[in-house]
């Protein structure tokens, strides 16, 4: 079955809900300041670099992140420390970027099917840290919208 056939076979109500969700997410995104949008993109990008080199060493990964996103190694370490704290990842020396990265790589490697949801949340956290730690309430609204329009109705069935 092709992806187009799969989509065509979906119930119209579900297709409508998904379209509504994307429209709400798009509306929420456009309300974010350019600084918050950039921070979220950078947080997501940093996570992508780590995921793409899940067994990589600290120095080359940080160098790629610094070059791609124009951040300092201190900012990268802040993101890593924030992710470790947010996901309750045990790290002996939280001042060591190397230890933080290895702990996060180990954590991400063990996620299995939960990988997508966890890395999405981690990207938001990384973006918040890069944005000076300010809360991103619109991201929470998007998550709430996903729950209310897709998850909750599915659980009720």
Same structural domain for residues 100 and 23? no
Domain of residue 147: give its range. 11-32+136-157
Same structural domain for residues 108 and 89? yes
Same structural domain for residues 22 and 88? no
Calpha distance 26→14 (Å, rounded): 18
Residue 3 lies in a domain: no
Same structural domain for residues 17 and 56? no
Same structural domain for residues 49 and 125? yes
Which of 130, 131, 135, 133 minimizes the C-alpha distance to 75? 130
The pTM score is: 0.60
Per-residue pLDDT of the chain (157 residues), as tens digits, is: 555 566 566 667 666 766 776 677 677 777 878 887 777 777 778 888 888 888 999 999 999 999 988 889 999 998 899 888 878 899 999 889 999 999 999 988 887 655 555 666 666 666 666 666 555 544 554 455 455 555 556 556 5
């Amino acid at each position: 079955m092709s992806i187009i056939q799969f989509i065509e076979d979906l119930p119209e109500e579900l297709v409508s809900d998904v379209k509504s969700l994307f429209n709400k997410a798009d509306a929420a995104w456009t309300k974010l300041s350019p600084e918050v949008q950039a921070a979220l993109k950078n947080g997501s990008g940093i996570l992508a670099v780590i995921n793409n080199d899940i067994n990589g060493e600290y120095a080359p990964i940080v160098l790629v992140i610094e070059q791609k996103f124009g951040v300092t190694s201190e900012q990268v370490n802040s993101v890593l420390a924030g992710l470790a704290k947010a996901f309750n990842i045990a790290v002996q020396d939280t001042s060591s970027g190397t230890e933080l990265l290895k702990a996060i790589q180990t954590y991400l490697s063990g996620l299995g099917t939960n990988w997508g949801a966890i890395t999405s949340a981690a990207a938001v956290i990384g973006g918040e840290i890069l944005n000076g730690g300010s809360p991103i309430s619109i991201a929470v609204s998007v998550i709430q919208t996903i729950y209310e329009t897709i998850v909750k109705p599915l659980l009720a069935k």
